[in-house]
Amino acid sequence: MDDKTNALREHVKGIFSNLELVLGWEPGYDPLHTRPFYVRTESDIDRLTANCLSFQNLTRYLAKSMNAVDPAADGRKIGVCVKGCDSRSLVALIQEKFVSRDRVYVIGLPCRGTLDARRIRALVPDPARIRSVNAEGDELVVETDRGISRFALDRAIARKCLQCRYPNPVIHDVLIGDPVTPRLKIDAENPSVAAVEALSLEDRLLFWENQLDRCIRCFACRNACPLCVCQNHCIMETRMPKWITQYRNMNEKFMFHMIHALHLAGRCTECGECERVCPVGIPVALIKEKINAIIYEMLDYESGIDPEAVPPLLTFSPKETGI
Amino acid sequence: MSSKSDAKQEREIKIVGFLCNWCSYGGADTAGVCRFRQPTDLRIIRIPCTGRIDPLMIVKSLIQGADGVLVSGCHPNDCHYAVGNFYARRRMEVLKRFLPYMGFQSDRFRYTWVSASEGQIWQQVVTDFSETIHRLGPNPGLHQTVDSAPAVSWF
Amino acid sequence: MSGKIFVAHDALSGLLDDLSKKFKVWIPQMMDQASGHIAFGVYAPGKKPELTRRSRLSPKKILFPSMDTLFKFTYVKDPKDPVRYTIDLKESFDNGPTLVFGARPCDTRGFQTFDQVFLKGQYKDVYYERRRQNTLFATLVCQDSDTACFCSSVGSGPADMTGSDMAVIPIEGGYVIEGLTDAGRKLVETSGSAPSPEQAAAAEQMKRNTAALKIGEDDLTGYADDLTRRFTDMDFWREQVSPCITCGVCTWVCPTCYCFSITDEASGMSGERMRSWDSCMFYLYTLEARGHNPRPTKMERYRNRVGHKFSYFPKKYDGMVSCCGCGRCIRTCPVSIDIRKVVKELKETADDRA
């Protein structure tokens, strides 16, 4: 995303008196990090940022941390900043009635991609001391203690952004900035999924085992996911029924990720948060992307586009044949 | 997985069958009453309806080492609860297409529709699935450690 | 003998090969090239230690595995009276000689917290104790801090060798390895040849220079009472913790977080009692059997995490902060919560309001 900080602050200042709070981002502990930020008072607005480091999908907080269903007593709405991918999560939450459309004021931010901190660390000579990170056109400029590096933006943005189909928010009350051209057509093949599918069956198993073996079960992927809404009732942690034991072996790690993926079948909006937050670098979203591709092919459905639609695995059609 | 061929002879094949109470469980019963000859690899778990099937049950069975998983219920439009199997077939078809992506042999999982009167068809289904699983051999399960993995340019 | 040896860069794998015959040697290694994931793994010939980049996961699991079988049990039926049975217990220990090579001072120092809790109190944890006694640490004098590092803020530093048996000092062309404890010296002396006087001097110089570095701006010790004062100020905690997604990353990567859960995993007539890591950031951590949870939201849970490290622990153990300043929780936090900032603001806001 290009830097929209000023435009965002201007807009929020104008409407803040009508809002209960605004979910946005603020700078993190260093120039490569960003923190979700709850704007609660007028003076907080100047801490807001919106740029290529606005990673987090803020709709996560709507369903899990606050009441976004009942209308507010004083009629004030919750403001939420969304990128294209985040807006799809919001639509999915509206579909499932975790968020009421009337309760939120959606500030849409067209996005050309968010950065992947790991890729940047691999690109710059002195990743330990980064002073500033800025996108300038199609270039990314990173200043470290050892000088300035410039490279193509595409080398530093997240995997999900390279295959982005919806850079522009699908729902919004206001759009800040001009719409962006999508990188991929809606029916284009997912290149990452294709790379895994090119392997033989045995190699695919080895690939996934090798990836999932690193899992430390911190549940960051689950907790960052806007659509993992079961919260403290997740079957990962119940002893009855006991889907998962305390063993840290391959069977349990594999099973955990199958649970996560299958519970998101037809619901995942590919915001990529699970993959970004993984502390051990497992391409978690890659599992869900395949399920999405299957559902698109089989049922011609894309999650998080139409607020009126019902997720396909929560409904049926008697007319279907061939399955 | 290297011990695949050795394992082939070592143990008997176990197939988990999830059968709906109203049709396929009755169908299996009919087949038994009619004394149709059936392979003995199937262990049947009775479920109220295929709508009860959580795809995770199938995944868990395969991960835990079941050699095959068979789900069978009422024919579409004949569900005792009217629509349970309509939900089920979507879920199971998604799973069936998804399993190979994770490295599972999708032939180890099959879903089918058999009514309570179709003893003969049940015999065919079980015989055929059992033969398929025997051809595939015992499920080697997951590797517990991975020494070398294929490189994928997924990124 | 001086208790020091010099190992050239290209001789390092030879040394590790030799050591791995006597020890289970753990080194920081690249686990996945694509994501640049570095963690501690067992050395095997051909594996390269990653000594120039920090590991994302701490070596905690070497002495405190994420899953540890305490004993195995089997119910044995009495053949004469099948209603009666006895329980057959088998203790389970996995604690051969172990060497941790290339951990950073913060990593090694993390075990000081464990020692306090698991060894020095009224009860000793035999599982931890046996592993501890059989493990040697060859700790790297740390050359490269990043913006999340703050070891000097918690009373340590990049050349702090507390708890280490050997110091691994990087110099031009290789490493000088210096024995610090008896066991360390003994091992060093049988493992190579002494450095030249120039190399020894360079190593001393390197140690001195590194020890003089100050990693982390503020002193984060001495906040014990500030936390007590802030304890009920929920506005403060809401402000700090709002972005938290209550995952367990910070506790899992932390070298000093020692909380665990004990479960029986049984099937049929036999099973295991095992200990596995638990995280105070999880809802289930304090959930009581009746359904009450004294820490129902992330505010109480995060307050506990900060309080434990910077207030309750120092009050109990002579002012020792149970944080080693490695910065892993800051680096891996999905929402960039900075524990340094939270601790610092304990005081500042406390003063502001007083």
pLDDT recorded at residue B1: 41
Judged by a CB distance cut-off of 8 A, whether residue A30 touches chain C is: yes
Domain boundary residue among A156, A185, A219? A156
In a domain, B91, yes or no: yes
Q: Which residues of B65-104 are buried (b: 16+ CB within 10 A; e: fewer)?
A: ebbbbbbbbbebeebeeeebbbbbbbbbbbbbbbbbbbbb
pLDDT recorded at residue B4: 45
| Domain boundaries, given as residue ranges, for chain C | 4-353
Q: Give the separation between CA A221 and CA C232, rounded to whole angstroms.
A: 31
Q: Across the interface, do B102 and A205 touch by the CB < 8 Å criterion? A: yes
For chain A, percent of residues with pLDDT exceeding 90: 76
Domain boundary residue among A106, A132, A156? A156
In the numeric block, which tokens belong to residue C345? 């603001």
Of A44-53, A309-318, B7-16, least confident by mean pLDDT is B7-16
Q: Give the separation between CA B155 and CA A137, rounded to whole angstroms.
A: 23
Q: Hey, CA dihedral for C277, C283, C289, C293, is it positive or negative?
A: positive
Whether C114 contacts C152, CB under 8 Å:
no
Whether B30 contacts B117, CB under 8 Å:
yes
Side-chain-facing half-sphere of A117: CA atoms under 13 Å: 27
Q: Hey, CA dihedral for C295, C300, C301, C307, is it positive or negative?
A: negative
What percent of chain A is helix, strand and coil (3-state, nearest 5)? 35, 15, 50
Per-residue pLDDT band for B50 (boundaries 50, 70, 90) equals very high
Which chains, if any, share at least 3 CB pairs under 8 A with chain B?
A
Please give the average per-residue pLDDT across A220-229, as a whole number: 95
Q: Give the separation between CA B136 and CA B134, rounded to whole angstroms.
A: 5
Residue A233, strand partner residues: none
Condensed to tens digits (0 to 9), the pLDDT of residues A169-186 reads 999 999 999 999 999 988
Find the radius of gyration of the CA atoms of chain B. 17
Please give the average per-residue pLDDT across A38-67, as a whole number: 93
Give the residue from A45, A38, A39, A34 showing the smallest Cα distance to A10. Answer: A45
Give contacts of A279 with chain C, Cβ < 8 Å: 56-57, 249, 252-253, 332
The answer on A277 and A147 residing in a single domain is: no
Judged by a CB distance cut-off of 8 A, whether residue A28 touches chain C is: yes
In the numeric block, which tokens belong to residue C159? 């050349």
In a domain, B58, yes or no: yes
Between C148, C253, C263, which is nearest A279 by CB?
C253
Based on the number of CB atoms within 10 Å of its own CB, is A251 exposed (0-12), middle (13-18) or buried (19 or more)?
middle
Considering only alpha carbons, which residue of chain A is nearest residue B106? Answer: A201
Please give the average per-residue pLDDT across A209-230, as a whole number: 94
Whether B42 contacts B49, CB under 8 Å:
no
Per-residue pLDDT band for B154 (boundaries 50, 70, 90) equals low
DSSP β-ladder status, A104-108 and C174-179? unpaired
pLDDT recorded at residue C352: 60
Judged by a CB distance cut-off of 8 A, whether residue C94 touches chain A is: no
Q: How many of the other CB atoms lie within 10 Å of CB of C321?
A: 24
Residue A195 one-letter amino acid = A
User: Residue B54 is part of a domain; what is its CATH number?
Assistant: 3.40.50
Alpha helices in C134-260 (DSSP H): 182-189, 197-212, 224-230, 234-241, 249-253
The answer on A112 and A60 residing in a single domain is: yes
On the question of pLDDT at A319 being above 90, the answer is no
- Residue in the structure block whose two tokens are 């049975």: C85
Total count of domains within chain B: 1
Give contacts of B153 with chain A, Cβ < 8 Å: 195
Query: Which has more pLDDT, B149 or A280?
Result: A280
Per-residue pLDDT band for B3 (boundaries 50, 70, 90) equals very low
pLDDT recorded at residue A225: 96
Residues 301-320 of A with CB under 8 A from B: 312-313, 315-318, 320
Q: Give the separation between CA C144 and CA A129, rounded to whole angstroms.
A: 10
Whether C203 contacts C137, CB under 8 Å:
no
Range of the domain at B54: 13-136
Q: Across the interface, do A258 and B102 touch by the CB < 8 Å criterion? A: yes
Whole-angstrom CA distances from C175 to C5, C139, C315 are 8, 12, 39
Q: Give the separation between CA C297 and CA A269, rounded to whole angstroms.
A: 27
In a domain, B51, yes or no: yes
Based on the number of CB atoms within 10 Å of its own CB, is B149 exposed (0-12), middle (13-18) or buried (19 or more)?
middle
Q: Give the separation between CA C46 and CA C50, rounded to whole angstroms.
A: 13
The answer on A304 and A177 residing in a single domain is: yes
Does residue A54 sit in helix, strand or coil?
Answer: coil
| Spans in chain C with pLDDT lower than 70 | 1, 348-354
The answer on A301 and A200 residing in a single domain is: yes
Q: Across the interface, do C242 and A219 touch by the CB < 8 Å criterion? A: no
In a domain, A286, yes or no: yes
In a domain, A321, yes or no: no
Please give the average per-residue pLDDT across B107-112, as a whole number: 96
Q: Across the interface, do C261 and A246 touch by the CB < 8 Å criterion? A: yes
In a domain, A151, yes or no: yes
Give contacts of A192 with chain B, Cβ < 8 Å: 154-155
The answer on A151 and A33 residing in a single domain is: no
Considering only alpha carbons, which residue of chain A is nearest residue C272? Answer: A247
The answer on A135 and A52 residing in a single domain is: no
Give the residue from A157, A130, A154, A128 showing the smallest Cα distance to A143. Answer: A130
Range of the domain at A137: 117-156
Considering only alpha carbons, which residue of chain C is nearest residue A39? Answer: C239
Condensed to tens digits (0 to 9), the pLDDT of residues A99-149 reads 999 999 999 999 999 999 888 888 887 777 888 888 888 899 999 888 898
Count each helix (H run) and each strand (E run) in chain C, helices first. Answer: 13, 11
Q: Which of A196, A205, A250, A297 to mutate to test the interface with B (most CBs of B within 10 A)?
A: A205
In a domain, A91, yes or no: yes
Find the radius of gyration of the CA atoms of chain C. 23
Judged by a CB distance cut-off of 8 A, whether residue A231 touches chain C is: yes
In a domain, A320, yes or no: no
Q: Give the separation between CA A25 and CA A122, rounded to whole angstroms.
A: 25
In the numeric block, which tokens belong to residue A56? 């987090």
Condensed to tens digits (0 to 9), the pLDDT of residues A235-251 reads 998 888 889 999 999 99
Total count of domains within chain A: 2
Find the radius of gyration of the CA atoms of chain A. 20
On the question of pLDDT at A323 being above 70, the answer is no
Considering only alpha carbons, which residue of chain A is nearest residue B57? Answer: A243
Please give the average per-residue pLDDT across A187-197, as a whole number: 92
Q: Give the separation between CA A86 and CA A35, rounded to whole angstroms.
A: 16
Per-residue pLDDT band for A320 (boundaries 50, 70, 90) equals confident
